[in-house]
Amino acid sequence: MRRLLTATLLAGSTLAAPALAQDQGNTATAVFAGGCFWCMEPPYDDMTGVQATISGYAGGSTPNPTYEEVTAGGTGHAEAVKVVYDPSEVSYEELLRTYWRNVDPFDGGGQFCDRGPSYRPAIFPQTQDQREAAEASKNAVAEQLGREVAVTIETAPAFYRAEDYHQNYYEKNPIQYRFYRWTCGRDDRLDEVWEDVPRLALAE
């Protein structure tokens, strides 16, 4: 389904390029994979303190991958979103809580209707402090839900920005985005797993 939606946009795409590795000013970065990166931008864009979200690829070994290469498999990359945020306004722990509420933590083979390693759920810590926080949050989620969590915590030496047509897709193509999200069953499954937990943050 998603391949059909993106096919008409490929002609205007650009090659992926490495994102800046270092934070600038009073900002920090976080990288999360939760299936389709189109769907991972909105919850973070709605958070106070988040300055930008960037769709891209992380966790693999192929430099400058294209969307076609990643979805075909073999690059090791997952679709991911890079979150640029102000730590004085929003904490990494709050970003983690929003992450968990927007993924199916039990499905390591993809997310919702999107299957395969490129759609695997993963957290890519950028610092040791982030890694420790991610591990603690994973343990807390497993305890809260009473099941083993399939989300992995991985090292990603580089993040590669996805093609322009993927950036802010939900804003540029709202009808196609809503149709994809509905047919993929994302919200139904999220509500089944998390029930009445707010979408923007996992309950303390």
Distances (CA, A) of 42 to 126, 128, 171: 21, 27, 9
167-191 core/surface letters (b: 16 or more CB in 10 A; e: else): bbbbeebeebbeebbeebebeebbe
- The DSSP code for 68 is H
Q: How far apart are CA 156 and CA 124, in angstroms?
A: 6
Q: How far apart are CA 51 and CA 85, in angstroms?
A: 5
Q: How many helices (H) and strands (E) does the chain have?
A: 8, 9
Return the closest-CA partner of residue 121 out of 70, 78, 61, 167: 78
* 184 flagged as catalytic: no
Cα end-to-end distance, the chain, whole Å: 36
- The DSSP code for 118 is G
Q: Which of 36, 39, 113, 184 is catalytic?
A: 36
User: Strand pairing partners for 159?
Assistant: 58
Q: How far apart are CA 161 and CA 81, in angstroms?
A: 9
Residues carrying an active site annotation:
36
